[in-house]
Amino acid sequence: MKRILVVGGGGQIGTELVPHLQKIYGYDNVIAADVKPDVVKRLSLTSTAVRLDALDADSYAEIVKKYKIDSIYNLVALLSATGEKNPRLAWKINMGALLNTLNIAGETGCAVFTPSSIGAFGANTPHNKTPQDTIMRPNTMYGVCKVSGELLGDYYNSRFGVDTRSVRFPGIISNGAMPGGGTTDYAVEVFYKAVKEGRYTCEVPADAYMDMIYMPDALKATTQLMEADPLRLIHRNSFNIASMSFTPEQLFRKIKERIPDFSYDYSIDPVKAQIAYSWPDCLDDSCARSEWDWKPVWGMDEMVDDMLKACRRKFANGEF
Ligand code: AKB
């Protein structure tokens, strides 16, 4: 049985990954850690939760020892748009948390999952059916951290034998915790605004294609890769995964089909526009499919229906 630590457990992914892992590995075997005391308080309602600043290597190592952890999911990250506002802080947090994770894993034998992202690619990457192994010259500090993280993951695996695994997440659409500071956040925000106010102003250009994934598929990918037979893995850090790809305009039309009064317009943020156009339009995920049987379940229409249902329920319950 595994003993799992989810670092950055209160963010968009962690909020849903913790209960997902509890279902698979047992409630008592999953520890959620976050740096913010109010978030730790929220997490403690549904899990064993601890306060941890992942940049504090000694406290991090103590927690791993105290809870007899053997698998770490490191979700700590400043995302792409926030990273451009403060690139040095993005490097410090994203790389500091990852290096501490890898060093502790090297000392204790823990397996490590760290998400990479479509943000690891840049403007000169082939945009259509972006191959698994291709040009990676990102134009953001977030992307620079993701490429560096992929290289470090492979290095710690080959040099120190750490069992590192990772996927390049598309924009994740979910209705647990809100994302914050990403370029793909619009694809979550619009559902809340459509339900509450019937209108939305988008900062990403109407025609910017980006890969997206619905949270249940993102969770499935994470645990499926961590359970994959290591002998089948040619790659480790990091796998392209794909399930749907669309532009803001295409998403908003789908919402309007379901809420005819919904209206939207655009007020473009130049930084987000530049980032969105630099990222792939759609990834080729054939290596994930052949090395660990990746197969998404959710398509765009089912995702839109499910998001609207969840947001309407949350709105009716006074949750936003
Ligand atoms: C972002 O937009 O920065 C993230 C990502 C795609 O990694 N959601």
Domain boundaries, the chain: 4-171+213-240, 174-212+244-282+297-316
Q: Which atom of ligand 1 is nearest to the CA of 119?
A: 7
Q: Which atom of ligand 1 is nearest to the CA of 118?
A: 6
pLDDT of 159 > 80? The answer is yes
CATH class entry, domain 4-171+213-240? alpha beta
Nearest CA to ligand 1 atom 1: 182
- Helix, strand, coil percentages, rounded to 5, for the chain: 50, 15, 35
SS3 210: strand
- Quote the CA–CA distance of 44 and 253 in Å, as a whole number: 39
Ligand 1 close to Cβ of residue 183 (< 6 A): yes
pLDDT per residue as tens digits for the range 29-45: 999 999 999 999 999 99
What's the 31 CA to ligand 1 centre distance in angstroms?
A: 25
Identify whether 142 is a catalytic site residue. Answer: yes
- Quote the CA–CA distance of 133 and 48 in Å, as a whole number: 39
Nearest CA to ligand 1 atom 6: 171
Count CB atoms within 10 A of the CB of residue 128.
11
pLDDT of residue 21: 98
What CATH number labels 174-212+244-282+297-316? 3.90.25
Ligand 1 close to Cβ of residue 79 (< 6 A): yes
What's the 227 CA to ligand 1 centre distance in angstroms?
A: 25
Q: Which atom of ligand 1 is nearest to the CA of 279?
A: 6
Nearest CA to ligand 1 atom 4: 182
Mean pLDDT, rounded, of the chain: 98
Which residue among 27, 60, 67, 142 is the active-site one? 142
Q: Find the mean pLDDT for residues 285-296.
A: 98
Which residue intervals of 161-234 are DSSP H helices? 186-196, 215-227
- Tell if the pTM clears 0.95, that is, is over it: yes
pLDDT per residue as tens digits for the range 185-227: 999 999 999 999 999 999 999 999 999 999 999 999 999 999 9
Q: Which atom of ligand 1 is nearest to the CA of 83?
A: 3
Residue from 141, 146, 185 to probe ligand 1 pocket by mutation (most atoms less than 8 Å from CB): 185
pLDDT per residue as tens digits for the range 86-98: 999 999 999 999 9
